[in-house]
Structure 1
């Protein structure tokens, strides 16, 4: 075997996106050789994302010219050779612009190749007693979607070292379809949980009827119910967006509300995090300014220590800690969320029309965040190379108080803003006969990290104007 000893671990990109060749260090002497066929720390350092292998398979081939493939499975593979040598051919059978792209190379024990889900894999042995080894990150399933391509397909036009009519091929492989008849492997799915809520509806508008996006309501998928781990074939998903949450901040201060808040915001999220971590799924979790006590001077960054005041904030802080245990996670920390339906803006607009002069708190400062902007930011993060972690996402511009915003609503609606009176938070709730949650006085979140990741949001005041214009007559 004319393989090279002592070369460093290196990676080489191919003409097929995600298909990567690795040169493996091979150490040998007169007794033979040794290699680390798969070493997690070194591979991830070399740029191969941890794909979570769960099974190791070996295909042993007696004769030169044994030919197998072309098979595209719905999982990732890390392919190498233990003994012998192969000519490998890979064809992209995924939906997209590179469908049908071909890459070929030889593999001996000093080389390996990472084959992403949906890329067709095939090989021909060039030496006797060749052992073809591959790690996979899912178990075989009869319900999984596979695609196959004929080894002799004219479009792929693979130049096999040994002509196909001279080699051993199974009858099944001989009868696979030509490229024009292949069913492309679709991308992994995105699951939106809580699709009937305000953010869920904004995500529906963002993603529309894309075949790769699935929407789940509490009626179809309750994350607090037993059996969540088997409720889906989770390996078919790449992203879970958790738009489900308990957000009744005042009711959360009651015994019953506390139970519901912890169940939805912590217990259910724990089950989701376990699923995401176990299947290599990106978990998108939406958090809140309520994880802070609001005493800081200036904007809160993603690195500031959390210090929640009430039950709702405590459950969101606990949820953040749980979501961070998932290797691939985005935590969207936001504030003062406005979506369709009943909200602060629609309430102020109705009061203005009814001739009511409200008292509004002027000692809580932050920025409005419209659900459409959160939905767009989530999509931008998930489709970019942004590092996993926490990102503040709110409307941009100068922070305002609720009092300032109420006056803007009155003015923009054609009413006198002087009809709105300022009051402190303590004064506003002084006569309340129901539970009241403590509010952070400062909810302004720094947007610098998100902007560095090319996630930008409109000015909150401009978004308020657009919202009122589009909702005119419906409020």
Structure 2
């Protein structure tokens, strides 16, 4: 078995071994394990259809369908032609090849496909990864389009065509097929706002506040139209999670909500981007935490994030993005320190917890990188780069950058800081430094947190 790329991205030709003897022949028309190993996408077919054409010259197309398609021949031969009708630089790219029982073609969503039978009594089959629906949205291209300029073995004037196929538009009039949709949940939070700025307002990007989205509604979306869900929603009130009410809310958002998303993503073959936290670790390590280090959360918040990670990891296509000390548009440690400095307040700040700041703009940029490059699925640490610091050191940086005396910040231990606390206090990891080698190997270089801090305060 051999899988060969074509000039149209994602359109793949598969050479199939055919075993014959005096009784006829046999082939494995679809063998998931072997084909995925050879380079075919694990596209999750759900429907198998068969087309029979009695006469040579029967021609269908061009149809660009809203699903992926695996086309093979059971009897006879066909001439296949494909034109990329998706948005992007390869719009209009054409590829043709003859297909018999020893060859199949994987056709990605949005690529227009057409087939002309070369033999009488031709039978070809195709697997698709969505059920046919009369409401499905197609794009079409005229078989005689001068730009595609397909050299049909049997001229279209002699071919058998339907009236609908004769009337399809020329390429200049075709509306390009947009990418699969991306749904961002938690669009009203710090990271959600950064994702909105990073991803823009393209028609295929949807943003939803977590409170406005009912995960239990069975038909909330036509999910096959989507490619990715980004879960930027979470319960992050670390200390409140230690109360009875907060514990229930944290488990509902960080575990039950993730479980609902995981079911949707798995059922419909979507990619799930799930944002995790350094709080899944207890902070006792003397080195930066790697993605495969054993988790050991200290408090309720960390426990719910660890449980959410375990659920998200069950999705075949998942990116778990583990981060720490997030700073974005809204109330956060840096904005609080800057406000205290301006008001003449001299704070006491913890000096025995160490980590790196992560700015939401950097986090959003890294998430986009994982999606667009289709980086290998799994867990990735993503924080700012640079030498780690304590919260007290960061507070002094904030004061200095604002033109204030950094000595106004008094360093204290965690125990001293919370000694007079009136309510529950969650345990914090001492070491929140995450190892960034894996995401850097995937081609993404996070920004230095100190540079980011200057830009954040200067903006």
Question: Is TM > 0.5 for Structure 1 vs Structure 2?
Answer: yes
3-state SS of the aligned residue for 1:414? coil
3-state SS of the aligned residue for 1:157? coil
TM-score normalised to structure 2 length: 0.98
1:109 to 91, 96, 101: 101
Equivalent residue for 2:55?
63
1:417 to 381, 402, 406: 406
Equivalent residue for 2:19?
27
| Preserved CA contact (<8 Å) 2:340 2:346 | yes
1:147 to 139, 143, 151: 139
Equivalent residue for 1:93?
85
1:40 to 32, 40, 50: 32
3-state SS of the aligned residue for 1:192? strand
TM-score normalised to structure 1 length: 0.95
Q: Is 1:323 aligned with 2:323? A: no
1:79 to 40, 57, 71: 71
* Runs of at least 5 residues in structure 2 that lack an aligned partner in the other structure: none
| Preserved CA contact (<8 Å) 1:374 1:393 | yes
Q: State the shift of 1:219 in Å.
A: 4.3
Equivalent residue for 1:403?
392
1:169 to 142, 161, 173: 161
2:117 to 120, 125, 147: 125
Equivalent residue for 2:183?
191
Equivalent residue for 1:157?
149
Q: Deviations over 1:234-275 (max 9, x none)?
A: 111111110000000111111111111111111111111111
Distance in 2, matches of 1:281 and 1:24, equals: 28
Q: State the shift of 1:144 in Å.
A: 2.5
1:213 to 205, 217, 224: 205
Distance in 2, matches of 1:430 and 1:460, equals: 30
Q: Deviations over 1:416-467 (max 9, x none)?
A: 1111111111111112111111100100001111111111111111111111
Equivalent residue for 1:459?
448
| Preserved CA contact (<8 Å) 1:145 1:185 | no
Q: Deviations over 1:402-422 (max 9, x none)?
A: 011111111221111111111
Distance in 2, matches of 1:68 and 1:87, equals: 11
Distance in 2, matches of 1:234 and 1:109, equals: 33
3-state SS of the aligned residue for 1:267? helix
Q: State the shift of 1:101 in Å.
A: 1.4
Distance in 2, matches of 1:425 and 1:121, equals: 64
Q: Is 1:293 aligned with 2:285? A: no
Q: Is 1:432 aligned with 2:432? A: no
Q: State the shift of 1:218 in Å.
A: 2.6
| Preserved CA contact (<8 Å) 2:214 2:220 | no
3-state SS of the aligned residue for 2:104? strand
Q: How many residues align?
A: 459
Distance in 1, matches of 2:336 and 2:13, equals: 59
Distance in 2, matches of 1:384 and 1:177, equals: 33
Q: Deviations over 1:149-192 (max 9, x none)?
A: 11122221111111112122111111111112222211111111
Q: How does 1:272-291 map to 2 (within 5 A)?
A: 272-291=261-280
Which stretch has the larger CA shift, 213-222 or 436-445?
Answer: 213-222
Q: State the shift of 1:222 in Å.
A: 3.8
3-state SS of the aligned residue for 1:319? helix
1:271 to 260, 280, 283: 260
Distance in 2, matches of 1:262 and 1:467, equals: 32
